[in-house]
């Protein structure tokens, strides 16, 4: 073959491959989701998310310490609450003596330098299991915003660094930005779930929180998986309303959306490598169908290559160990 261009020349050795590598993962790319449950000295594995545990607050602090030793310094906290703490208006979400806000305070007291992201949505606290206020089977948009704002301000007061509205209500980023600013929290950022799709890959997460909707589905507020241009509308609105970081959820089945937002926004782009994506790789690896470590790193690399600056992933600990 008479060819001056031979791309294989740059693949001849490990040193050369490393030298010309276009995309690199670093532990600083990761945010690790954490689950907190009520009690003391409790640690329960989420059956559908192998290797991921719900921790009581005391043990969660120990877990964060181990993660810091691996170089992980950013966390996203989610609460597992008993049904007796849930009601129609998610009142537990802003209870200063409740599990979630007390745990935020404990984390920031012991580890003031970590970045703590919090979740703003009604479903962990709602007796209906939906992200918004329900009336006659309909999820109300504008009435939900006041509840979300109260929740966000309470989280900021407890010590949250980044507020993560995951509810997909229209106008919620601007509403939360004003509420935070008016309460004196102009320094607290908003990492907005801008393109959150009505996905089949959330099931294990809902197991972890026992937060599945009690009726219907979330398709009237989460996005249609068939749509991409709609993601640009959501991202533009969130940007105009004051979002600091835009997020795509899920990640692996929406790599095109990550790339689309990267090409059309100057803001940092985050992607949530969700529980179902994690569980698929874990299940296949446990059955010997693929190399779990290679599949993990390849999937994380694909998310970064698509344009994500930040990756929320349950693989964070394992990936950090390999990267080290």
Structure tokens at 321: 């160990």
Q: What is the dihedral of CA 194, 198, 155, 145, to 10 degrees?
A: 80
Q: Are 162 and 189 a contacting pair, CB within 8 Å?
A: yes
Cα–Cα dist 137/135, whole Å:
5
Q: How far, CA to CA in Å, does 249 sit from each of 86, 168, 171, 319?
A: 25, 11, 19, 20
- The reply to whether 234 sits in an annotated binding site is yes
pLDDT for position 201: 94
For the chain, helix, strand, coil in percent to 5 are: 45, 20, 35
Domains of the chain with CATH codes: 22-323 (3.20.20.70)
Which of the 8 DSSP states describes residue 71? T
Residues 140-163: pLDDT tens digits? Answer: 999 999 999 999 999 999 999 999
Beta carbons within 10 angstroms of residue 134's beta carbon: 23
Residue 159, sorted as left (phi over 0), alpha (psi -120 to 50) or beta, turns out to be: left
Positions in the chain short of pLDDT 50: none
Active site residues: 196, 249
Structure tokens at 304: 């970064």
Cα–Cα dist 266/159, whole Å:
27
Structure tokens at 69: 């030793």
- Give the pTM: 0.94
pLDDT for position 290: 96
pLDDT for position 213: 81
Residues 109-134: pLDDT tens digits? Answer: 999 999 999 999 999 999 988 999 99
pLDDT for position 296: 98
Length of the chain: 324
Cα–Cα dist 219/48, whole Å:
23
pLDDT for position 203: 85
């Amino acid at each position: 073959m008479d060819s001056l261009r031979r791309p294989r020349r740059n693949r001849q050795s490990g040193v050369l491959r490393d030298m010309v590598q276009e995309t690199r993962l670093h532990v600083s790319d990761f945010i690790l989701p954490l689950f907190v449950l009520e009690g003391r000295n409790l640690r329960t594995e989420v059956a559908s998310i192998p290797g991921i545990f719900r921790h009581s607050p005391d043990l969660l602090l120990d877990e964060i310490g181990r993660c810091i030793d691996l170089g992980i310094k950013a966390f996203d906290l989610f609460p597992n609450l008993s049904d007796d703490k849930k009601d129609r208006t998610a009142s537990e979400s802003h209870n200063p003596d409740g599990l979630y806000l007390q745990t935020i305070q404990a984390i920031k007291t012991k580890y003031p330098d970590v970045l703590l992201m919090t979740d703003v949505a009604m479903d962990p606290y709602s007796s209906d299991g939906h992200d918004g206020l329900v009336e006659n089977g309909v999820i109300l948009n504008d009435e939900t915003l006041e509840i979300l704002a109260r929740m966000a301000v309470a989280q900021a007061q407890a010590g949250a660094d980044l507020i993560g509205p995951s509810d997909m209500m229209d106008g919620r980023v601007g509403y939360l930005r004003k509420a935070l600013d008016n309460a004196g929290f102009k320094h607290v950022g908003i990492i907005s779930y801008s393109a959150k799709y009505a996905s089949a890959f959330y099931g294990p997460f809902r197991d972890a929180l026992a937060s599945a909707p009690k009726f219907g589905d979330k398709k009237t507020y989460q996005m249609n998986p068939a749509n991409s241009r709609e993601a640009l509308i959501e991202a533009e609105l969130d940007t105009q309303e004051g979002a600091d970081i835009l997020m795509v959820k899920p990640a692996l089945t929406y790599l095109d959306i990550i790339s689309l937002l990267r090409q059309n926004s100057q803001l940092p782009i985050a992607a949530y490598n969700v529980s179902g994506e994690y569980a698929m790789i874990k299940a296949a690896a446990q059955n010997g169908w693929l190399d779990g470590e290679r599949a993990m790193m390849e999937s994380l690399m694909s998310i970064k290559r698509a344009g994500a600056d930040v990756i929320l992933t349950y693989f964070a600990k394992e990936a950090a160990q390999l990267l080290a």
